[in-house]
Structures are given as C-alpha cells and as structure tokens.
Amino acid sequence: MKNTQYIKILQRLVVGCMALSMSACATDLQTRVAGNLTALSKNQTVAILPVETSDPGQKEMAKMFRQGLYANLKQSEFHLLERYVIDGLLKQNKLTDPSILLNINPMQFGEILGVDAIVFSRINKVERSYFVLHSSIKLSVSVQMVDTRSGEILWRAEQTEQDFSGIGKIPTGITTALLAPIQFVTNKFNLSRMTSNMVDKLTVLVKHPNEADRENQFEKPIIAKNATHELKKIEELQQLKAEWQEAMILHEKAELSASSKNLESNKEPLVEIATKPESNSVKKNKIQAHSIVQKIKRVESEMPPLSPQKEAMIPTPIYMSQAITVKPISVIESKEAPPITRSYVGTSAKQLTSSKTQLYTVQVGAYKTKAHARKLERSLKRKGYDVFITQNGKNIYRVQVDRFASKEDAIKLAHHIQIQEKLKNFVTRFSGV
Amino acid sequence: MHKIQEMQTFSITYMKAWLAGKQNSLLQKLTIFILLFGMVFGGCGTVDLKVRKNLDHPNIHPNTVAILPFTLAGPTPEGVPVHRLFRECFFNYFSYLGYVDVPLETIDYKLQAAGMKKYKEVLGFSSEKLRDILAVDAVIKGQVLETNNFTGGIHAETSIKAKIEMIDLRTGETLWETEHKQRIYSGILSPTVVEIIQDQMDNVKVHQALYKTAEMFSIGIMMKIPDPAEVWQKEIRLPEIKSIETNLKLNQKLKPNDRIYVNLTGDAGLKGSFGIGSWKSNIPLREINPGMYSGSYIVQESDEISSALIVGTLKNAQGLTGKRFYKHGMAVIEKSSLN
C-alpha cells in the first residue's frame, strides 16, 4: 500500500519532468503474432538464427540481442534448439553469413536444422550521438518467426528504442550536465541495459501469445515469400503430373486405334533398364550423361542452392539444345537403318535424319490440347532438356525429349527422367518434328 | 575496482544514517558527497571470473551441466526469493553457451528424489554423489551472499552479491569461480533528475528490480565463462532420413476414414514420427525393421486442410531431430459434408 502511494507520487513527478524535457526515452514497438503461435508446445523446437547486421560495428549488439532472445524465449512454451547446434549445422552447410539467411526457404531450414520454426532477426540501426550537453543511443531491430512446416509467419516485430542523457533530462548540476552525456554514450553497460530492456518488451507477446489483442494478431495467415514460391512450384509440378497421367491414358487409346503397321513400328515396351548391362555406346556417352545429371539435379532441386559457394562448385551445365541445333523439318519417312554411334557435336538433327539413320526419342507426354503440351515442354526446357512437340495423324501433341542414334542412350535418359522428374515415359522412334 | 566498491558500500551506509538524521555535520555530508562522486566514475564493476583450469583441450570440457539450486545467506528482501529468481535468470542466459543444460525442474526432481529437503543441503553433497544423482559432467553452484533494495529521496539501489562456481564432477575440481556484487543504482550525482525519479520508481518494484539486477549480473558473467561451443560444433550430426514415401496421390482430396500411410528410412533405433504440415505433428512411426519406419493417420470427420506437406521426423536420445519433407504430393482434406 505504501509502495503504491509512493509510486503514484513519483509517477506524477515524472510526468512533470517529462513535460519539461525536450524529448524523452521512447519505444516504438509494432508486433503481431499468428493464432498458430499458440499451437507451439514443448514438443516443437525453434531455432534462433544468427542476427543479421547492417554494419560490421553492430556485431557486439547482435550478439547481445541474440543472447537476450535466448534468455527471454527460454520462458516461452516451445523448446529452443541450442545455439551451438544451430551455428554448427549452419557452418556445416556453409551458411555462415547471416545476411543470406532470410533468402532461404524456411522449409530448407526445417531439414538442415530439424526445427519446426525459425527466428530471423536483423539489427537495423545502432546510433550513438554526442553533442556536449546531449547524447543519445538509438537501437532499431526487426524480427520474424516462420513455421518451417507451413511457411507461415508466426511473429513479426519492428522495434526502435531510444534513450538519451543531458540537458533535456534536467541535469542535477553543471558537472552532471557535462559528464552525463559522455558517460551515457560511452558506457557499455547502458547498451547492455537498453538491449536487455528492448528484448524484454519485444518478446512479451511470444511468451504469452494468448494475451495478444486483436490488433496484435494477423488477420489471416501470412505465408513467407520464399515458402510461397516453393509451395507454388510443388503445386505446379503436381498439376503437371496429373495432366500427364490423363494424357497417358489418351495416348494409349490413340496408339491402339492406329494402324497395325504403325503399331508395329511405333510401339515400344516401357522402359526397363535397371537390370540391363551397360552397352559400349552408353559408356561412350557417360561423360555427357553425367553432365546432364549434374545440371538437372541443380535445376530441379525444389529448394534454392545452399550457398553461392556450393552453387559455384557445380560445373556449368551443358545444354543439349546447344549441342544439337533443332530445326523444324518434315521428315515423315524414316526407314530402318543400322544403328550408328551417337555423335552430338556438329551433328544436327537434320543431318541425322536426312542420312536416313533411325533415331530414338523419349516420349514424356501426349495431349489433345496443344497448350498442355506446351506447358510440359516449357517446364522441361527450363530444366535444360532438349524437348520438342510432334504431332501425329490423330491430332495428338506428343512431348518428346532428345534424339539418339543409340537406343541404349535413349533408354538411359528415359530412366533418368523417370527417377528425377517422376514422369512416366517410353522410348520410341523419332519420326521428325 | 574492489576499492571503488568498498567506497560505494561505505557511502551508502553513511547516506542511510544521514537520512535517518543520525549524522548531521557538514563535514560528514561533504565526505558522503565526495564518496558518491566516486560512484559516478566507478560505475558497475565488471565480473571478475577466475578460471581455475585450462579448458583449451576438447576432452576436458564438460558437456552436460546442471545448475544446482542457489542458496541465500541473508533474509529475503520484501519476501522475494532472490536465490530462485537469480538461478532462473542465470539458467536462461547460460543456455546461450555451448553446454547441454539440464532443465531446472529435472534437476530439482532428481535431487528431491535423492532425499534433498532444503536447498542448503546441496552444498554438502560430494561430487560422486551429485554425479550419481544427476548424471552430468559438471554442476554450477551459486550462493547469494547479500542482497539490497534501497529507495530513498535521492538514492535508489538494488544489488546482489553472489558466489558462483562450476565444478567438474568427473574430477571434483573447480573449473571457474567468481564472487561479484552487481549494482543498479541512481542518486543525486548520477545523471539527471528524470532518471533519478524513474529509477526510484522502478526500484520500488522489488521483484522487478532484483530480476533486472540478476539479469545484468548474468549478462556480465556470461561474457567471461569459457564457452565450448566451437568444440562441439564439429561433432554435431542430426539423425539422417534417407527417404520418405507416402500413398498420397496427385490431386487427391482425402475424405474421412481415408488413411495416409508414411514410410521412412533412415538411422536405426530412433524415435520416428510424422506430421501433416503444422496442422498435426508427432503422429508416431513404428520401426518395423532396423532403419525402416512406418505409420499412418486416419482422416477424421472434423479434419480440414487446404494443402499441407507431409514431414517425417527422427529424434535421437539427445533430443536432436532430423526432418524430411515429402515433396511429391500434398495432403488436401476436404471438410466432411456431414459437418
């Protein structure tokens, strides 16, 4: 009771003094949480990532801030992954630069760190100023917590903390008026204390998400930008696969209704190469096939490369379209010819076909609608495949990949597409584009 | 630094007496004034931590550490259990360092199960006994020797004096120790009127003031405690998941009583589970063969998800988790028409 009265009196005095001062120590905090934050329990693990800084001189502040986040969020409902585990795993994955972390898909962090959510943070400003009778410290930070399983932003906050000392706060004497500003801005203890106070205020809602007002909650779930991109890619891929399955059925029907002669010449058994021994021609093309695999692995990877260094290590892909110049030619007739050893460089499709050599290709799709065929063509082209569309007599648009003089080479690519792209396919004779 | 602290303590004692009207002479007032002036320059002393053993060699560093209950030598100010408050605060900051710190509740539970009734008893436990009870490499003992929370017309101060040490239970040796007094104060000579009043206001809230002091003590000491993070970083390895498969079909919309099957291969002998996005987690997977885990989830009437990725999880005994997403399909559960 006595304390309460005392506080009230002091509060009034403070208000009076504040009115006299030119400005006061201030906090600007904008923080919002998602409803799903309450779903995090001790069974879920959260990683506080290294803090990004906008200036090399902010490293000390970044360390203090991360330490403060740990100490405060230790009191929250979820489990925190040990800092040394995070730093060790990031180092193993060559992710030592905090400035690139925000550009990485949160789901990737889920796999790298084995966590359910991650906390990104950035020091925007650490400003110390001194003007003889006035000095100030201004700190500004941004924080974001993202669920790695869904990409949802669980918490987002921006905070600016400012404090000063000097004439504005009514010095108690001439000495104080001169000394206080110097002491305030140079004393490391003040920066520690301000950082500590800042993190205390910043983390209140995360520690007690149930206490969030409506205005401090996101109106609807927000998915992080990187996660949205990746989820969209997965959905598109799914859509393509679904269309392909439908097209496969159509294709089979079309093939069945074709003439028996055409059936004889065009129908090939579905690829089964797992148990087939490597032929000499395959061995000859081994280096090139390896290059293709390298390229495809890089492009089809559903998440961005781990680091620029890692990306730099990947050899420059050899685009098959660069090796073979494909020009639309109408070659309907293709008679049987003895197989030749495939030679890519300097041998165009025209040359190969015009020399009456039998070529093989890998068919990955057949559509009634040209737009659907184009969509698959574009998707595979982006991944570096030499893909093209052919049309048969039944107005079916067939999506085919590459041409080979050797059937074994075609089978190898078919197998690769089956594994990497999860696209059903078969090897067929190339009948021209 | 110690001299400054002694001066500060002396001046506070005098000032308290002066405020009580016991000392009134001009000379004494002047003395106090000079001593307080020293306080301005003295600031808050840094923690003087003495490392007793060279911890450079990786094998010497303890890995698992338990922070034992802190003891309190004097009375509790305003009924605030400073030793408990300080221990919690210390634990929160200590978790930043590269040790595996045992949760405080676990430590207390184990000690109570071993017969500890009062916190002070823990000081008498031998290293062997503590190692048997807690199964850790090292312990941290803390004794709060002195606390102070004083608010007067021109001066406010909160302080905690404590002795903290880390003992290696494998050898019984003290690895490091410190005895430090942390102060947060403001007074007539410390900067400005606004600050004096604000600090006094804060200081009256005893619990908050003591926690803040404990926090500054902890921040100070953490800068000095040897951190083995670099040593352990190289050895970290998450459980490996080689593959994950589900029976999800393309563009399939799941309905009540449909079953999502998940098969996972990876390191053997671990705790396996899977989740459906962030919507449902920890659905158990059974290890049917070494390194092969299998489980399922039956869609319920009330379930509804627009699209979620299946995520497989393997957890080891240290609590480290390996995760892998199934990226070839998403779970879509339409709300049952019955609802």
Does an H or E element contain B16, and which?
Answer: helix B2-19
Asked if B201's CB is within 8 angstroms of A10's CB, the reply is: yes
Mean pLDDT of A279-291: 36
- Mutation target vs A (from B197, B238, B306; most A CBs, 10 A cutoff): B197
**Helix orientation angle between A188-202 and A174-186, rounded to the nearest 10 degrees:** 70
Residues of B in contact with A74 (CB under 8 A): 91-92, 95
Residues of B in contact with A169 (CB under 8 A): 191-195
% of chain A residues with pLDDT over 90: 15
Of B96, B194, B327, nearest to A83 by CB-CB distance is: B96
Residues of B in contact with A6 (CB under 8 A): 151, 204
- Mutation target vs A (from B100, B183, B194; most A CBs, 10 A cutoff): B194
Q: What is the mean pLDDT of chain A?
A: 70
pLDDT bracket for residue B271 (50, 70, 90): very high
B contact residues 200-219, partner A, Cβ 8 Å cutoff: 200-201, 204-205, 212, 215-216, 218-219
Of A3, A111, A171, nearest to B192 by CB-CB distance is: A171
Asked if B278's CB is within 8 angstroms of A235's CB, the reply is: no
pLDDT bracket for residue B37 (50, 70, 90): very low
Whether B251 contacts chain A with CB within 8 A? yes
Residues of B in contact with A187 (CB under 8 A): 43
pLDDT bracket for residue B263 (50, 70, 90): very high
> What is residue A355's predicted lDDT score, i.e. its pLDDT?
45
Asked if B95's CB is within 8 angstroms of A80's CB, the reply is: yes
Distance from CA of A370 to the nearest CA of B (A): 22
Residues of B in contact with A24 (CB under 8 A): 194
**Helix orientation angle between B206-222 and A59-73, rounded to the nearest 10 degrees:** 130
Cα–Cα separations (whole angstroms), residue A105 to A110, A295, A354, B241: 9, 21, 49, 19
* pLDDT value at A314 more than 90: no
Q: Nearest-CA neighbor of A100 among A398, A310, A413? A: A310
3-state secondary structure of B33: helix
Strand partners, B271: B315
> What is residue B339's predicted lDDT score, i.e. its pLDDT?
44
Using CA of residue A415, residue A417, residue A423, residue A425, what is the dihedral sign? negative
Residues of B in contact with A71 (CB under 8 A): 89, 92-93, 95-96, 215, 218
Residues of B in contact with A36 (CB under 8 A): 278
Whether B239 contacts chain A with CB within 8 A? yes
> What is residue A324's predicted lDDT score, i.e. its pLDDT?
31
Q: Are B66 and B137 spatial neighbours (Cβ–Cβ below 8 Å)?
A: no
- pLDDT tens, residue by residue, A66-107: 999 999 998 888 999 999 999 999 999 999 899 889 888 899
**Helix orientation angle between B206-222 and B82-94, rounded to the nearest 10 degrees:** 40
Does an H or E element contain B177, and which?
Answer: strand B174-187
> What is residue B3's predicted lDDT score, i.e. its pLDDT?
45
* pLDDT value at A313 more than 50: no
* pLDDT value at B44 more than 80: no
Q: How far is CA A161 from the centre of its chain?
A: 32
End-to-end CA distance of chain A: 92
Using CA of residue A155, residue A55, residue B220, residue B125, what is the dihedral sign? positive
Of A36, A171, A184, nearest to B278 by CB-CB distance is: A36
> Picking from A30-34, A49-53, B129-133, B237-241, which range would have the lowest pLDDT averaged per residue?
A30-34
> What is residue A297's predicted lDDT score, i.e. its pLDDT?
32
* A254 against B131, higher pLDDT: B131
Q: Are A236 and A415 spatial neighbours (Cβ–Cβ below 8 Å)?
A: no
3-state secondary structure of B11: helix
pLDDT bracket for residue A332 (50, 70, 90): very low
> Picking from A61-65, A341-345, A361-365, B195-199, which range would have the lowest pLDDT averaged per residue?
A341-345
> What is residue A120's predicted lDDT score, i.e. its pLDDT?
94
Determine how β-strand B271-276 pairs with β-strand B280-289: antiparallel
pLDDT bracket for residue A257 (50, 70, 90): low
Whether B323 contacts chain A with CB within 8 A? yes
Q: Nearest-CA neighbor of A201 among A410, A30, A346, A334? A: A30
Residues of B in contact with A170 (CB under 8 A): 192-194
* pLDDT value at B122 more than 90: no
Of A85, A166, A169, nearest to B193 by CB-CB distance is: A169
> What is residue A336's predicted lDDT score, i.e. its pLDDT?
33
* pLDDT value at B336 more than 70: no
Asked if B278's CB is within 8 angstroms of A80's CB, the reply is: no
Of B89, B230, B330, nearest to A238 by CB-CB distance is: B330
Strand partners, A157: A31, A143
Mean pLDDT of B11-25: 54
SS (H, E, C) chain A: CHHHHHHHHHHHHHHHHHHHCCCCCEEEEEEEECHHHHHCCCCCEEEECCCEECCHHHHHHHHHHHHHHHHHHCCCCCEECCHHHHHHHHHHCCCCCHHHHHHCCHHHHHHHHCCCEEEEEEEEEEEEEEECCEEEEEEEEEEEEEECCCCEEEEEEEEEEEEEEEHHHCECCHHHHHHHHHHHHHCHHHHHHHHHHHHHHHCHHHHCHHHCCHHHECCCCCECHHHHHHHHHHHHHHHHHHHHHHHHHHHHHHHHHCCHHHHHHHCCCECCCCCCCCCHHHHHCHHHHHHHHHHHHHHHCCCCCCCHHHHHHCCCCCCHHHHCCCCCCCCCCCCCCCCCCCCCCCCCHHHHHHCCCCCEEEEEEEECCHHHHHHHHHHHHHCCCCEEEEECCCCCEEEEEEEECCHHHHHHHHHHHHHHCCCCCEEEECCCC
If you count residue pairs, one on A and one on B, with CB atoms under 8 Å apart, how many are there?
Answer: 182
* pLDDT value at A287 more than 70: no
Distance from CA of B92 to the nearest CA of A (A): 4
Distance from CA of A405 to the nearest CA of B (A): 33
* pLDDT value at A31 more than 70: yes
3-state secondary structure of B213: helix
Q: In chain B, whose CA is at the least distance from the CA of A107?
A: B325
> Picking from A258-267, A313-322, B158-167, which range would have the lowest pLDDT averaged per residue?
A313-322
> What is residue A219's predicted lDDT score, i.e. its pLDDT?
83
* A44 against B76, higher pLDDT: A44
* B192 against A287, higher pLDDT: B192
- pLDDT tens, residue by residue, B167-218: 999 988 899 999 998 887 665 555 555 565 666 556 556 788 888 889 889 9
Distance from CA of A196 to the nearest CA of B (A): 8
* pLDDT value at A48 more than 50: yes
CB burial class (10 A; 0-12, 13-18, 19+) of residue A214? Answer: exposed
Of B98, B218, B236, nearest to A89 by CB-CB distance is: B236
Of A67, A239, A241, nearest to B96 by CB-CB distance is: A67
B contact residues 171-190, partner A, Cβ 8 Å cutoff: 188-189
Asked if B204's CB is within 8 angstroms of A3's CB, the reply is: yes
Q: In chain A, whose CA is at the least distance from the CA of B325?
A: A111
> What is residue A229's predicted lDDT score, i.e. its pLDDT?
73
Q: What are phi and psi of A16, to 5 degrees?
A: -60, -45
Q: What is the mean pLDDT of chain B?
A: 80
Distance from CA of B280 to the nearest CA of A (A): 10
Q: In chain A, whose CA is at the least distance from the CA of B310?
A: A149
- pLDDT tens, residue by residue, B46-102: 777 888 776 666 567 888 999 999 998 877 777 778 899 999 999 999 999 989 889
The ipTM estimated for the assembled molecules is 0.78
Q: Are B130 and B169 spatial neighbours (Cβ–Cβ below 8 Å)?
A: yes
